[in-house]
Amino acid sequence: MKKFTPGLYQKLHTASHPRILFRSVLTQISRQWPQHDYYEATTPQSQTIPHHRRALSTKQTMATPQEKKDWSATQYLKFNNERTRPVYDLLSQVTPHLSSSPNPRIYDLGCGPGNSTKVILDAFPTARITGMDSSSDMLKKASGSLPSVEFVAGDLATFKVDQKANLLFSNAVFHWLRHSNRIPTLVTLFQGLSTGGVVAIQVPDNYHEPSHALMRVTASLSDKPWTQFFQDTKIGNLADEKRPDLDPIQPPIEFYNALILHAGSVNVWRTMYHHVLKDAGAIVEWVKGTGLQPYLNRIEDEAAKQAFLEEYERRLEDAYPKLVDGNVLLVYPRLFVVAVRK
């Protein structure tokens, strides 16, 4: 089994025409994961000591570059249907666990513009729901769309949840946490729930996909208009918390092993989505709403920023060949975790 080693990364970085080489490397990378990985087990229910409400004590959990500028709800919602589809897939595995709760208490952690909150509200119209996000623009959009729902500002490092919460739901948030804090933060939240409480998360698992690997490649190029804006960081070095790139997602077994100690059941699976988009430019627009923003926030010169986007798009064109109808296929893996507190 091949790994995405520094040697493979260097090949991508130095290739002047990466189409064939990039596909070769991606083929090696893809063998690390089948299309669906699935783990599930149950343990006997047992008594648990009640937990007090608590705040997460984790420090420096979020990738720091995103704090420079606020997120754009408008940019994010350009691909609302594609981004919301995993919400339905995650919620379908949660609904059976809440069937006995007529008025469930639900938190949507990292609610964004409210697209996930809307799905939750439709599924549980009598629920008391609180949406939490760190972005004022996202919260403004969410509260405007769902005036009956409570939305609050916060982040995973300090947010308090009710011990009696029935569901902690999180769509595409935990991947923003650094590797060392991601699972501990999830476990701390999970431990704060009472027996029967559910935590359900979904995270993009696309660190090795060309859409994200080429961000790192492009940012690392020397003698470019944008080079100076990345000189104080080490792209791809997990020890550098100031870098704009996110950390890889841990394999399913690590989530399972961490949660099963406190769970009656843990359900983990991985789905490979395939989104038909117009062209490489559409991929750029997609990631500008999420993973590309920390890179763009670093580039203070507009001309340099435009040059970066053009180079990144050019490399995407090599990595994503056109289909017979002229469109391109964006492969987007996502990891799902649902755990029930024992």
pLDDT digits (tens, 9 = 90+) for 129-167: 999 999 898 899 999 999 999 999 998 878 889 989 999
- Tell me: pLDDT of 117 over 80: yes
pLDDT score, position 20: 38
**What one-character-per-residue DSSP string does 72-99 give?**
-HHHHGGGHHHHHHHHHHHHHHHGGGGT
Q: Which residue has the tokens 């420079």?
A: 68
pLDDT score, position 201: 99
- How many domains does the chain contain in total? 1
* Domain-located, residue 249: yes
Q: What is the domain extent for residue 244? A: 25-341
Q: Are 69 and 297 in contact (CB under 8 A)?
A: yes
pLDDT score, position 75: 52
Q: Which of 56-65, 70-79, 89-98, 132-141 has the lowest mean pLDDT?
A: 56-65
Segment (H or E) for 339: strand 328-341
pLDDT score, position 156: 87
- Tell me: pLDDT of 26 over 90: no
Q: Are 136 and 167 in contact (CB under 8 A)?
A: no
Rounded to a whole number of angstroms, the distance between the first and last alpha carbons of the chain is: 36
**One-letter amino acid identity for 60?**
Q
* Domain-located, residue 7: no
* Domain-located, residue 12: no
Cα gap 314→280, rounded to integer Å? 8
pLDDT score, position 280: 98
- Bigger pLDDT: 5 vs 273: 273
* Domain-located, residue 121: yes
pLDDT score, position 32: 39
Q: Which of 3-17, 117-131, 212-226, 257-271 has the lowest mean pLDDT?
A: 3-17
Tokens of 71: 């997120």
* Domain-located, residue 19: no
pLDDT digits (tens, 9 = 90+) for 182-231: 999 999 999 999 999 999 999 999 999 999 999 999 999 999 999 999 99
pLDDT exceeding 70 applies to what percent of the chain? 77
- Residue 58 pLDDT level (bands cut at 50, 70, 90): very low
The pLDDT mean for the chain works out to 83
What is the mean pLDDT of the segment spanning 37-41?
A: 41
* Domain-located, residue 3: no
pLDDT exceeding 90 applies to what percent of the chain? 70
Order of all β-strands in the sheet with 263-277: 38-42, 263-277, 328-341, 198-204, 167-171, 105-109, 128-133, 150-153
pLDDT score, position 230: 97
pLDDT digits (tens, 9 = 90+) for 265-279: 999 999 999 999 999
Check which CATH number belongs to the domain holding 333 and give it: 3.40.50.150
**What one-character-per-residue DSSP string does 7-61 give?**
HHHHHHHH-SS-HHHHHHHHHHHHTTS-S--EEEEE------------B----S-
* Domain-located, residue 6: no
What is the mean pLDDT of the segment spanning 311-315?
A: 98
- Tell me: pLDDT of 29 over 60: no
pLDDT score, position 172: 93
Backbone conformation region of residue 230, classed left if phi is above 0, alpha if psi is from -120 to 50, else beta: alpha
pLDDT score, position 10: 43
Cα gap 218→292, rounded to integer Å? 11
Cα gap 186→174, rounded to integer Å? 8
What is the mean pLDDT of the segment spanning 63-83?
A: 56
- Tell me: pLDDT of 261 over 60: yes
Cα gap 207→216, rounded to integer Å? 10
Q: Shortest CA distance to 108 belongs to which of 82, 78, 72, 84? A: 84
Range picked from 153-167, 246-260, 280-294 for highest mean pLDDT = 246-260
Using the Cα atoms of residue 58, residue 59, residue 62 and residue 66 in order, give the sign of their dihedral. Answer: positive
* Domain-located, residue 10: no
What is the mean pLDDT of the segment spanning 67-80?
A: 54
Cα gap 65→80, rounded to integer Å? 24
Q: How far from chain centre, in Å, is Cα 295?
A: 16
- Bigger pLDDT: 2 vs 315: 315
Residue 73, class by beta-carbon neighbours within 10 Å (0-12 exposed, 13-18 middle, 19+ buried)?
A: buried
- Tell me: pLDDT of 63 over 90: no
Long-range contacts from 96-105, C-beta under 8 angstroms, 24+ separation: 97/167, 97/196, 97/198, 97/338, 97/340, 98/124, 98/166, 98/167, 98/198, 101/166, 102/126, 103/127, 103/128, 104/128, 104/166, 104/167, 105/162, 105/164, 105/165, 105/166, 105/167
- Tell me: pLDDT of 241 over 60: yes
Residue 147, class by beta-carbon neighbours within 10 Å (0-12 exposed, 13-18 middle, 19+ buried)?
A: exposed
pLDDT score, position 244: 96
pLDDT score, position 37: 42
